[in-house]
């Protein structure tokens, strides 16, 4: 039984990842900032270990990782999933406070969680780190500069981790989802419509036109990819960006 820590695993992609690892027979701990959502996930996923944590708060991260280690007995797999979408606006219109908030959660939060988990992953002797980047980490993303910036940054972080931690047999990869079905993408579409003055239907059609497979990605497929990358079948895969985006050609 592997010991898995998933950040922001009470809803969306994170919850699907937690559920997939539980179904694989693993012991899973997730944290989330929202108590109500977290409690609902625990009711839905029996056996899910959990704790509250704001990944944007440095003081909470160390306590959360320590709690995860206590409940799990160690960490074999770390899934860095926590992140916020940030504003939809042109660079000149982005509020600097909103810019810093995205970097604080998505980039610095991932760094701090990983830093705290590394000693435990080394001790496991067969550790895995997965970092949730985005198609925004492969392309420029008009009107989403903070989000795109952190997703590119996470790829650089992943590549560096893979080089530093390979000596400990720790594999590190980044998953890059495209347009994922769910509440968040609908908000993104609405934001694009408001920023550009186009209709919502036009925005949705444009979003699908840049993919060979013209449908939104199912979060369950992302979870299945995470389980594969953490498995022995992927034991020679490290330092890679793995898109799951319907063959997206541009943002």
Shortest CA distance to 173 belongs to which of 158, 160, 163?
A: 158
Residue 147 a catalytic site member: yes
Which has the closest alpha carbon to 132: 174, 160, 85, 162? 174
C-alpha gyration radius of the chain: 18
Q: ∠ CA 245-186-209 to the nearest 5 degrees?
A: 45
**Out of 29, 141, 147, 215, which one is annotated catalytic?**
147
d(CA 79, CA 18): 9
For residues 184 and 112, what is the distance between their CA atoms, to the nearest angstrom? 25
- Residue 39's H or E segment, with its range, is helix 35-44
Which sequence positions are flagged as catalytic? Answer: 147
């Amino acid at each position: 039984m592997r010991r898995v820590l998933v950040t922001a695993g009470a809803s969306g992609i994170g919850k699907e990842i937690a559920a997939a690892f539980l179904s694989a027979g693993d012991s899973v701990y997730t944290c989330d900032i929202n108590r109500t959502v977290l409690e609902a996930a625990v009711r839905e996923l029996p056996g899910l270990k959990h704790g509250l944590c704001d990944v944007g708060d440095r003081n909470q991260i160390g306590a959360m990782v320590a709690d995860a280690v206590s409940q799990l007995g160690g960490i074999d797999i770390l899934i860095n999933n926590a992140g916020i979408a940030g504003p939809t606006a042109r660079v000149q219109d982005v509020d600097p406070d909103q810019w810093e908030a995205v970097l604080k959660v998505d980039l610095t939060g991932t760094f701090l969680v990983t830093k705290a988990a590394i000693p435990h992953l080394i001790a496991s002797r067969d550790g895995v780190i997965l970092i949730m980047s985005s198609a925004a980490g492969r392309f420029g993303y008009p009107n989403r500069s903070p989000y795109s910036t952190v997703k590119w940054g996470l790829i650089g972080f992943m590549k560096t981790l893979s080089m530093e931690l390979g000596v400990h047999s720790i594999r590190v990869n980044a998953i890059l989802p495209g347009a994922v079905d769910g509440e968040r993408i609908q908000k993104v579409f609405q934001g694009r419509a408001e920023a550009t003055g186009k209709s919502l239907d036009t925005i949705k059609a444009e979003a699908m036109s840049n993919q060979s497979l013209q449908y939104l990605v199912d979060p369950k497929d992302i979870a299945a990819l995470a389980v594969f990358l953490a498995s022995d079948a992927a034991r020679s895969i490290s330092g890679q960006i793995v898109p799951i985006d319907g063959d997206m050609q541009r943002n």
